[in-house]
Amino acid sequence: MKLFSLIFSILLATSATAETLSGRVVGVADGDTITILDSSNTQHKIRLAQIDAPEIGHGKNKPAMPYGEKSKAALGNLVENQVVEAECQTKDRYGREVCKILVNGMDVNLEQVKNGMAWVYTKYAREQTYFEAEATAKTKRIGLWADSDPIAPWEFRHR
């Protein structure tokens, strides 16, 4: 029984191990989703971990949120055509890798929050620096926090 427990623990630890991807950013879908192309020419659609950006418009049935396009543009300015490291922990329900994105050591996910271009996704965020960055952006009324009553994307989608 001890052997079974040991093997099970090792398998769990292995499946929880982070995967690091490296590649050039070839697409920015919105303020929290990018596509990278790795060295084997494989595309990876990546959802930025711990944050949630304003929705961009997708036709009549899926309207845009304020700052949706600005958030997308801000992310593009940080990553477009850059080689990034993606520290991935899991996949979301759409099959996208969920990752922290680094450009020359800079945490891009955190930058989106600092610049008021994304919320901390409280349901999934774990790093205190993200919460601190959001509090500072709110206090300084940076980006989406300049709005008198910004609505979080998860609330917007629920409506």
pLDDT at 9 over 70: no
Q: Is the pLDDT of residue 87 over 60?
A: yes
Q: Which domains does the chain have, with CATH numbers?
A: 18-158 (2.40.50.90)
Q: Which of 24, 55, 80, 87 is catalytic?
A: 55
| 55 flagged as catalytic | yes
- Whether residue 9 contacts residue 60, with contact meaning beta carbons closer than 8 Å, is answered with no
Q: pLDDT, tens digit, for every residue of 131-154?
A: 999 999 999 999 999 999 999 999
Catalytic residue among 69, 85, 93, 96: 96
96 is catalytic: yes
Is residue 75 within 8 A of residue 117, CB to CB? The reply is yes
Q: What is the pLDDT of residues 51-75, one digit of tens each?
A: 999 999 876 777 788 999 999 999 9
Q: What is the pLDDT of residue 3?
A: 39
